Amino acid sequence: MKIRSAEEIGGTLPDQVPKPSALRVAMIRAAHQLLDVPIVFEDPFALKILGVAAEDSLRSDPLRYNTPLLKALRASLVVRSRLAEEEWACSKNRGVRQYVILGAGLDTFAYRSRDQAGGRVFEVDLPETQFWKRGCLRAAGINEPESLTFVPMDFEQSTLAEKLGEAQFCLDEPAFFSWLGVTMYLGKDAFVNTLRFIASLAGGSGVVFDYGVTPGLLSAGERAAVELVAARAAEHGESWKSLFDPASIAEILRSQGFSELKEFGPEELNDRYFSGRTDGLRKSGISRLICARL
């Protein structure tokens, strides 16, 4: 993976964006709708939620999001979103009716899902990020469904038990959590405390999340990619704090009471979602996914 400069991960960002990573992820996810055939993760609102100016900019030159690094990041972003929604569907089929999206950013699941009968979606994110997102939704003419609840929270300052409890989340019923693109920004205590809370819920609860892999398990090219992405995030005040190896993640989850673990590395994900492609869209090894249930 050849990397030339920081511009390969998206260039400059508007000053008014409270969480640069949220917009950068949304732009990359939207670029997938324009660049990749077949689409791995179909999101009809991915472009619309960006706003007219950002959408027009992306449509005018989508190839700037097709550098080697951005292609690898794009594969990671779309495959984690698809897997998370598939695992939520699996939990819903088992009777779970509460879906919590931690660090939701500009995620559009709640607005495009047509099957929310009897279910609730809770979007958890920083207050300023949610304020910005709701402005994006209004500008795009995207309605907020009645099944959605916004839960403002800083993972390093508050607890999920406290904030979800204030949001009419049923603490005595099972829930499924999507936790994407967040763990690398958290200290270990906040990471473990979040898992401990999920494990305290009713049987059948679960979580899917991605995590950054420790450099010693990466190739030289992957290590260079991690260094560049982490440096870019730090420039915007979003420093990476935690990286893990698969064995440590499994140990932490089991210590909290999770018994059903499904781990997804690049080999499994590429075979499952990118097999037979001719465009080079492939998942790298810089992050992994895991789904854990009680």
Residue 10 has pLDDT above 70, yes or no: no
Of 117-131, 163-177, 271-285, the least confident:
117-131
Give the pLDDT of residue 1.
32
- Asked if 48 and 267 count as a contact pair (C-beta separation under 8 A), the reply is no
Q: Over range 198-224, report the average pLDDT.
A: 97
**Average predicted confidence (pLDDT) for the chain:** 92
- What's the whole-model pTM score? 0.93
Q: How many CB atoms lie within 10 A of CB 7?
A: 12
What are the boundaries of each domain within the chain?
A: 81-293
In this structure, CATH architecture of domain 81-293? 3-Layer(aba) Sandwich (3.40)
Angle, vertex CA 32, rays to CA 27 and CA 36, nearest 5? 155
Q: What is the pLDDT of residues 234-281, one digit of tens each?
A: 998 999 999 999 999 999 999 999 999 999 999 999 999 999 999 999
What pLDDT, on a 0 to 100 scale, did the predictor assign at position 70?
Answer: 94
- Host H or E run for residue 20: helix 20-35
> In percent, how much of the chain has pLDDT > 70?
94
| Residue-wise pLDDT tens digits, 65-81 | 999 999 999 999 999 99
- pLDDT class for 11, splitting at 50, 70, 90? very low
Identify the band that residue 16 occupies on the pLDDT scale cut at 50, 70 and 90. low
